[in-house]
Structure 1
């Protein structure tokens, strides 16, 4: 039974509470959807947030906590609960039951969810990217694949490959911006998503990228991250034109808000990690208003389409050695 037997509105209420607590940016953008799409987006968000928290021992984000449990075991439990939920079985966890509800309504599959969970498995293996391709494959798992699921939630047909590709681009853009903003926090948690090859190019020794002596080199690398994010964001805006107006408005608002974070990180240069970069409530409202007018106009075609494509990243993921 979809939703683990819970009344749908109970799941929706819990999901709305989760998004309000976990992401003010997504919460703001989700209000622009029609009611049905908003509820479905929030149900999907609740599962994503819960998986992220299980993986990192968090409560709706914040500092990483390691409680002594095995990271691989946590990911495996996450996968088992996810599969149960999609199969219509109860999980005793509202966030996973929320996934079961939205999966039944929108045709979300085990394969879609596994693409996302595979990103958490990489973190559990204490994996780090050696190449730019490795970085983009990770971004596909933890965000591009979520973008594809969100597109299905917004009613994009399973065979509309072009629009699903653009949804993946938006997820990639979001994750690249997050990595740029969170370099210092990730380092404190023992993680680094900057490719080893990039660090070698800048003569930055392993584990030393946050040291003051390498701050200017770090600025160059993070600028590269933000440039990649902007390429994928520009491509994603083309896909937004295929969506109903309110969904288009919401997607463009989210792109404006998250794109601004990456651009602010780049603008701050070496001071970008003195304090966490965020967008104020007033700025979010401006970006929402800007997105309204953008949704009424034709989005300009990007100067070039991104090098990294959904099909290519899926092929890289399929070719990756098993855990």
Structure 2
């Protein structure tokens, strides 16, 4: 069973993200296995909440009463099966067995996977983001907490908050980059992760930011958000030096690849969304070599001192957003239908 699960997890990361699949090859065998299991759980949850396999945000969740009820039912199912897998991995299968095995082997705190699922709840309930702090709170739940979990999988003790916060910073940087790259794709699915305050400052009516006449203002917003992401990338870079050599190499490679994607969006300006921005194989190989040199230097010189993070947002430990009670009785019907 474990062998089949490992094979499935490896296929999941290969299909889901070329950048992360490349970086995952650099880990030692045991870390690679655990990273893939954790990624597969994250990926499966993403696909289930969207009601699809292998895709990203294909369903506008708030489009109808039925779809909202259905996604809330799927969210409840994810929470139930994840909790069951964490309590007893052998009682579950697939992704939910995987997350339980990772937690058992690494001491991963159980609240971290559950916090990640709260990020999916923000999408399910169509949370709106007034300020950049609201956006960062979302990023923490959908990506920052994943960074924390990955760091623990790579050998960082769960109580090393000074390192884990840097791992969360990398997750925030990744998500801010994703938001900027995928603005139009998200808009097509009736989602917007740009702060309403920033849209208003650019005279862009909320909900209409995808229209061509607002492309210049949209580019300025993306530029500001990517500049913010740079601070989190820099913070994460220092944290990566506290990882074992091969893990540091993998993390630094992924960071360079994603940061380069953000730079391509920034350089393209108003034309950033005319085509999907990505890094070429040749560019990735160059980043792979540069990351190896950095990881080698850290192994030789020792980890960087982790000074304070002035100006960077940090999750306080309390959710700024409260999940509302289900607004429609149809949600209960959907749950019962899903259980049949």
* CA-to-aligned-CA distance 1:109-167 (integer Å, 9 cap, x gap): 32111110000000000112111110000000000000000011001011111100100
Tell me the CA shift for residue 62 of structure 1: 4.0
Tell me the CA shift for residue 207 of structure 1: 1.1
Q: Tell me which residue corresponds to 2:113.
A: 113
Distance 1:306 1:55 in 2: 36
* CA-to-aligned-CA distance 1:13-60 (integer Å, 9 cap, x gap): 110000001111100000111010011000000000001111112322
Q: Tell me which residue corresponds to 1:256.
A: 256
Q: Is the 8 A contact 2:239 2:306 kept in 1?
A: no
Query: Following superposition of structure 1 onto structure 2, how do residues 283-302 of structure 1 map, counting pairs within 5 Å?
Result: 283-297=283-297
Q: Tell me which residue corresponds to 1:226.
A: 226
Distance 2:179 2:189 in 1: 13
SS of 1:277's equivalent?
Answer: coil
* CA-to-aligned-CA distance 1:186-205 (integer Å, 9 cap, x gap): 00001000011111111111
1:60 and 2:54 are equivalent in the alignment: yes
Could you list the runs of 5+ residues in structure 2 that have no partner in the other structure? 61-65, 325-340
SS of 2:157's equivalent?
Answer: coil
Could you tell which deviates more after superposition, 175-184 or 93-102? 93-102
1:8 and 2:12 are equivalent in the alignment: no
Structure 2-normalised TM-score?
0.87
Structure 1-normalised TM-score?
0.92
Query: Following superposition of structure 1 onto structure 2, how do residues 171-182 of structure 1 map, counting pairs within 5 Å?
Result: 171-182=171-182
Q: 1:25 to 1:243 in 2, by over 3 A?
A: same
Aligned counterpart for 1:32 among listed residues 9, 15, 26: 26
Distance 1:121 1:101 in 2: 24
Q: Tell me which residue corresponds to 1:305.
A: 309
Q: Tell me which residue corresponds to 1:87.
A: 87
* CA-to-aligned-CA distance 1:216-247 (integer Å, 9 cap, x gap): 10001011111111110000000011111111
Q: 1:320 to 1:94 in 2, by over 3 A?
A: same
1:22 and 2:16 are equivalent in the alignment: yes
Distance 1:291 1:276 in 2: 25
Distance 1:136 1:271 in 2: 25
Tell me the CA shift for residue 93 of structure 1: 4.2
Q: Is the 8 A contact 1:146 1:171 kept in 2?
A: yes
Q: 1:275 to 1:282 in 2, by over 3 A?
A: same
Q: Is the 8 A contact 1:136 1:308 kept in 2?
A: no
SS of 2:163's equivalent?
Answer: helix
Could you tell which deviates more after superposition, 83-92 or 188-197? 83-92
Q: 1:262 to 1:300 in 2, by over 3 A?
A: farther
